[in-house]
Structure 1
Amino acid sequence: MPRAITVKKVKDLPVSFLLTDGMGARPDLKISNVPQLIITARISKSGKAMPESGDLQGLSQKVKPGDKDISIVIDQQIP
């Protein structure tokens, strides 16, 4: 389940952002409450939040809340 969601435009790539507890998908899902997480960046053809066939995505390695300078390469297509 996503803990946080942010929406950016493809034309603005690459983007920098800071994940905070205020970006939570729900108020009780705080980023600061998990020891590690994986960040997914997805380009949605439909604009919907849920992944669909044909969307492009990339995943980070496992990171800790507060880690900096994390790069994600969007290099996978969802079948």
Structure 2
Amino acid sequence: MENIEDALPQIRAKLENFDWKNIYNMDETDLFYRLQADHSLATKQLEGRKKDKERLTVVVCCNEDGSDKVSLWVIDFVR
């Protein structure tokens, strides 16, 4: 964490040389599309079900000013 905190001012200084439209941020998230709920509306845990961990990894990306929103990318399929 110390290294990250020390590097942040240098990174911010370099980013000041670019327009916001040229700075992109990307993140990924997993979509467990077959995962069943483990709680009912009454928050009672449902017993006896094995969790299906089949998933897709989805990437979300856009530039800092929001003028370029890149289409979602599916980069992984795990069974």
TM-score normalised by length of structure 2: 0.29
Q: Which has the higher helix share?
A: 2
Bigger relative contact order, structure 1 or 2, given CA contacts below 8 A and separation 6+? 2
Larger radius of gyration: 2
Greater strand share, structure number = 2
